[in-house]
Amino acid sequence: MLAASVLALGCGRKATQADCDLIVDRYVEVQLRAMNINDPATIDKRKVEMRQDVKDELRDCIGKRVTDGMLACVKSAKTNDEMDKCTH
């Protein structure tokens, strides 16, 4: 999963719950928009579902290393490829 791959970084700071949620939320947004799904309610519903689906990975995410640059990249990514580049 995306959140797990992101956090293999060795520098930066420890990820917070908010950082981990941001990564999952952006992954969902980018993925749905790639499928031309732009309805905010649908996107929000899928974010909640995805967080539930990956709750164990999210728990493992907290405390892993992230950088502000990586999170900025995640926030601005427009495609799945860009998300992958941000997190590797």
- pLDDT tens digits along 12-62: 899 999 999 999 999 999 999 999 999 999 999 999 999 999 988 888 889
DSSP state of 13: E
Q: Is 55 left (phi over 0), alpha (psi -120 to 50) or beta?
A: alpha
Give residue 35's pLDDT.
Answer: 95
pLDDT value at residue 10: 53
CA–CA separation, 61 and 34 (whole Å): 25
* 3-state DSSP assignment of residue 7: coil
Q: Is 40 helix (H, G, I), strand (E, B) or coil?
A: helix
Q: What is the pLDDT of residue 8?
A: 47
pTM of the model: 0.80
